[in-house]
Amino acid sequence: MEERVMLKNIRIFKHLMMRDATVLKKDFLGDLINVVTWPTSLAITFGHVLPAFGMIETYGSFLIVGALGTSFFYLAVGLATNLINDFEGMRFIESQLITPVSSYKVVLMQRVTTFALHSFALSAPLLLVGKLLLGPKLSFVDFSLWKFMVIMTTTSFFFGFFALALAASFESTRSIAAVWRRIYTPMLLLGCYWFSFNMAQKVYPRAVYLTLGNPLTFIIEGIRVSVFGQAEYINFLLCEAVLLGYCCLLAAFSFSRIRRRLDLL
CA distances from 159 to 111, 172, 250 (A): 11, 20, 9
**pLDDT tier at 101 (50, 70, 90 boundaries)?**
very low
Most confident option among 44-53, 77-86, 237-246: 237-246
Instruction: Report DSSP state, residue 207.
Output: G
Do residues 189 and 203 touch, judged by C-beta distance below 8 A? no
Mean pLDDT of the chain: 83
Q: What pLDDT, on the 0 to 100 scale, is given for residue 95? A: 55
**pLDDT tier at 154 (50, 70, 90 boundaries)?**
very high
**pLDDT tier at 96 (50, 70, 90 boundaries)?**
low
Residue 71 CB contacts under 8 Å (≥ 6 apart), including other chains: 35, 38, 39, 119, 122, 123, 126
CA 193 from chain center: how many Å? 14
CA distances from 214 to 62, 160, 184, 188, 221 (A): 19, 17, 11, 9, 11
69 against 177, higher pLDDT: 69
Overall average pLDDT of the 82-106 stretch: 64
Element (H, E) at 233: none
Residue 65 CB contacts under 8 Å (≥ 6 apart), including other chains: 127, 130, 138, 223, 224, 227, 228
Q: Which amino acid type is present at position 258?
A: I
Residue-wise DSSP of 129-175: HHHHHHGGGS--TT--HHHHHHHHHHHHHHHHHHHHHHHHH-SSTTG
Tens of pLDDT, residue by residue over 219-240, are: 999 999 999 999 889 999 999 9
Do residues 176 and 81 touch, judged by C-beta distance below 8 A? yes
Is 46's pLDDT higher than 50? yes
Most confident option among 99-113, 175-189, 240-254: 240-254
Is 136's pLDDT higher than 60? yes
Q: Nearest to residue 226, comparing CAs of 131, 151, 120? A: 151
Is 23's pLDDT higher than 80? no
Q: Nearest to residue 250, comparing CAs of 146, 140, 159? A: 159
Tens of pLDDT, residue by residue over 159-186, are: 999 999 998 888 777 788 888 888 888 8
Do residues 140 and 45 touch, judged by C-beta distance below 8 A? no
